[in-house]
Amino acid sequence: MSTITPVAGTELLSPEHQELAARVRDFADEVVAPASYAYDTERRLPLEIIAAMGEMGLFGLPIPVELGGQGSDYLSLCVAVEQLARVDQSIAVTLEAGLGLGAMPILRFGTREQQERYLPALARGEALAAFGLTEAEAGSDAGATRTTADLVDRHWVINGSKQFITNSGTPITSLVTVTAVTGRRTGRDGRDAPELSTIIVPSGTPGLTVLPAYDKVGWHTSDTHPLLLTDVRVPEENLLGEQGRGFANFLSILDEGRVAFAALCVGAAQGCLEQAVAYATRRIVFGRRLGDNQHTAFTIARMQARVAAARSLMHEAARRIDAGMPFTREASLAKLVGSEAAVANAHDACQIWGGNGFLNENVVARHYRDSKVLELGEGSTEVQLAIIAKHLGFTHAFST
């Protein structure tokens, strides 16, 4: 019988999930947290921490053993991401994006040759992969994609640009999967529409330029760049999945990714809750603990309620993925509620910490800066609302 004391929110999970949560939580508290302020200030992705996560098997959790992974389920990835996000969202999103957006497209849609070529190194954390979808005029509106790929002499010649691409410029980035227009087709409405496909572009390919990193409000440690593709040539076999299926494939990947992203949101909200409880317990104001004031205690109680609701939705969505059940609506619910919980809890934690909560050396300040992007990344709040509304029968929710 296991002697592990379950960490918060894992009490009803399997012993294997509880053990993983405890192991990652210890790593987050003992290795990530003490160093996070330094590399946040340096705006540097600490490759030594990424390597340690690779040695723990975190980058290979949902990847099959025969491809170098751990053969675990998707819920395991969510459990790990949550524990990391409590103390550092940048490290958590490096794992979440590296797997959810980087490795999973190859696992879900790649040929066996592509899987065997790229996944083992990704699973070991020795390499990172990126997913190049967003452009200046195309993100949620993928039909506005301007990047093109023309088949010339059995090579794809790619021209265009991408922006906000996570893990795209690290020293260990091995590839970027880009969406590109590879032709035209007739849409369901009878109108001409772009045919989107996804193509693997290895790092270092001539014509692929990683532009300088963004100066972001938060997520300072996370590697994020715009990309320029100028006559990039890759072999025809670098097509990922069927030609013309890029739109459907990226929707599927984003659905999955939103569940792991929701786990990141839950972790951020949980981290703020823990910091608020700790500070309200030790801070003495007017002769008593800050938490003994009803307003403070009620504020923290609401923080707990937000975490519990968001975690429940996230677990349900992850379980649906593992059970092979439809999960698009549940993914959007989890991402919507989780991101709003993270933002609200970051605000409340900062308020409880007072002036100390405005100092970057304290994790609540970094959560305050970092959490806003949770309402924007991997589908904004408005996109999630539209998806949920569509599942309620309001089919024109995306219309203006």
> Looking at residue 294, which CATH number applies to its domain?
1.20.140.10
The verdict on 279 and 161 lying in the same domain is no
Task: Note whether residue 59 is domain-resident.
Answer: yes
Angle subtended by helix axes 74-85 and 15-27, to nearest 10 = 30
Max CA pair span of the chain: 79
Tens of pLDDT, residue by residue over 224-240, are 999 999 999 999 999 99
Q: Where are the beta strands (DSSP E) in 127-202?
A: 128-132, 148-152, 155-166, 173-186, 192-202
The verdict on 362 and 291 lying in the same domain is yes
The verdict on 64 and 88 lying in the same domain is yes
Q: Which amino acid is at 277?
A: V
pLDDT given at position 162: 97
Q: Where are the beta strands (DSSP E) in the chain?
A: 128-132, 148-152, 155-166, 173-186, 192-202, 208-210, 224-235, 239-240, 284-285, 288-289
Q: Cβ atoms within 10 A of the Cβ of 149, count? A: 29
Percent of the chain with pLDDT over 90: 89
pTM tops 0.85, yes or no: yes
Buried/exposed code over 85-115 (b: 16+ C-beta within 10 A; e: otherwise): bbbbbbbbbbbbbbbbbbbbbbbebbeeebb
The verdict on 239 and 252 lying in the same domain is no
The verdict on 164 and 87 lying in the same domain is no
Q: Which of 55, 256, 378, 382 is catalytic?
A: 378
**Are the C-beta atoms of 225 and 215 separated by less than 8 Å?**
no
Query: Could you list the residue range(s) of the whole structural domain that residue 293 is in?
Result: 248-391
Picking from 194, 222, 244, the residue at the C-terminal end of a domain is 244
The SS3 call for residue 130 is: strand
For residue 2, pLDDT over 60 is answered with: no
Task: Note whether residue 315 is domain-resident.
Answer: yes
Tens of pLDDT, residue by residue over 166-180, are 999 999 999 999 999
Calpha distance 113→124 (Å, rounded): 18
Task: Note whether residue 2 is domain-resident.
Answer: no
Active site includes 378?
yes
Task: Note whether residue 400 is domain-resident.
Answer: no
- The total number of structural domains in the chain stands at 3
DSSP secondary structure letter of residue 170? S
Torsion angle of C-alpha atoms 82, 83, 89, 93, degrees rounded to 10: -60
Calpha distance 368→278 (Å, rounded): 17
How large is the average pLDDT for residues 45-73? 97
Calpha distance 228→373 (Å, rounded): 23
Calpha distance 266→85 (Å, rounded): 8
**Per-chain mean pLDDT for the chain:** 95
How large is the average pLDDT for residues 332-348? 98
Burial (0-12, 13-18, 19+ Cβ within 10 Å), 252 = middle
